[in-house]
Amino acid sequence: MNRTRMLAGIGTPVAIFSTALLASEKLYDFAFKRVDYVPETSADKQKYADAYYAYVDWLHRQPVQQWQLNVNDADNHLVAQYVPAKTASERTVIISHGYKGDGETMANYAYMFHQMGYNVLLPDDRGHGQSAGKYISFGWQDRRDYLGWIDKVIRLNGVHTEIILFGVSMGGATVEMVSGEHLPNQVKAIIADCGYTSVEEELAYLLKRQFHLPKYPFVPMVSFINRHRMGYYLSDVSSVEQLRRNHRPIFFIHGEQDIYVPSWMLKKNYQAANEPKQMWQVPNATHAESFWIDPAEYQNHITAFLDHYVPHN
């Protein structure tokens, strides 16, 4: 009888652990595994669909060049679209896309910068679009890939080129993470729209909000799985820590009504970043909606920031 009770006492926590581990594996695959299509946008963004596809059609009509990195390395092969400026320009913007998107999904921002006289580079991040990768790194591996794209821009456009880094949502977090790397002088400024503080905090927040699940034990288990598959823990993936090493002018944009990446993450990122920095909270904007509410005002804010910190020669 005592042995039976002992085995039952052991079996119960083992069963709980196994169930939690299985759930964490499913969660990891759902959140981190690549998908070879762009999921449909959220219901609140459907009203912008016609405008979005008009920007995509514009992109398809441009003299787009395909740029590549690591061509002979199948596991690390990266692809980007490059749209040259209407007239020769020494200014290039590298635009980082959102979660489960690709470079094409940033066509509206590409159009905006193109109208401002910029060359535009639209990478597909690891695990997205035409680039390699089984899993999504949420900006962490991408931050080093963007150093490769920066070097390629300098190599092809010349040492006098001026580079702006721009990203939205996961792309916003990606350029925030790039900010903490050793950047060449040609990188002049960074613009991050609705980037998260860290993958760990974002995952814990969404688990609670969308699935009513606690952080423990799921986030540590997902982190352990990621360490096994990708080589690092989720706690390593931090915009905040990278922003503390930033030395470029940085402009934070965030919708006041964002419930996907909450506004407290904006404030935490802003506080972590070194000067010079600016912040714009967009009234009534939800996640990644700031551009769509008023594209002209959005462009005006970006133009004012760049004119101040990266004036034209």
Using DSSP, state whether 178 is helix, strand or coil. helix
What is the rounded end-to-end Cα distance, in angstroms, of the chain? Answer: 86
Domain of residue 270, CATH code: 3.40.50.1820
Question: Residue 85: which domain range?
Answer: 33-198+237-309
In a domain, 8, yes or no: no
Per residue of the chain (313 residues), give pLDDT as tens: 565 554 445 555 566 667 888 989 999 999 999 989 899 888 888 999 999 999 999 999 999 999 999 999 999 999 999 999 999 999 999 999 999 999 999 999 999 999 999 999 999 999 999 999 999 999 999 999 999 999 999 999 999 999 999 999 999 999 999 999 999 999 999 999 999 999 999 999 999 999 888 999 999 999 999 999 999 999 999 999 999 999 999 999 999 999 999 999 999 999 999 989 999 999 999 999 999 999 999 999 999 999 999 997 6
Q: How many domains does the chain have?
A: 1
Q: Name the residue type at position 176.
A: E
In a domain, 188, yes or no: yes
In a domain, 257, yes or no: yes
What are the CA-CA distances from residue 146 to residues 69, 125, 153, 167, 176 (Å)?
A: 10, 9, 10, 12, 11
- Own/partner long-range contacts of 183-188 (Cβ < 8 Å, ≥24 apart): 183/147, 183/150, 183/247, 183/248, 184/150, 184/151, 184/154, 186/150, 186/153, 186/154, 186/159, 186/161, 186/162, 187/150, 187/163, 187/248, 188/162, 188/163, 188/164, 188/248, 188/249, 188/309, 188/310
Using DSSP, state whether 119 is helix, strand or coil. strand
What is the pLDDT, as a whole number, of residue 97?
98
Q: Which residues contact 244 (CB under 8 A, 6 or more apart)?
A: 180, 272, 273, 274
In a domain, 2, yes or no: no
Instruction: Tell me how far apart the alpha carbons of residues 103 and 97 are, in angstroms, rounded to a whole number.
Output: 6
How many Cβ atoms from other residues are within 10 Å of residue 312's Cβ? Answer: 9
Q: Considering the entire predicted model, what is its pTM?
A: 0.94
Paired tokens of 231: 């080589």
Instruction: Tell me how far apart the alpha carbons of residues 26 and 76 are, in angstroms, rounded to a whole number.
Output: 25
In a domain, 74, yes or no: yes
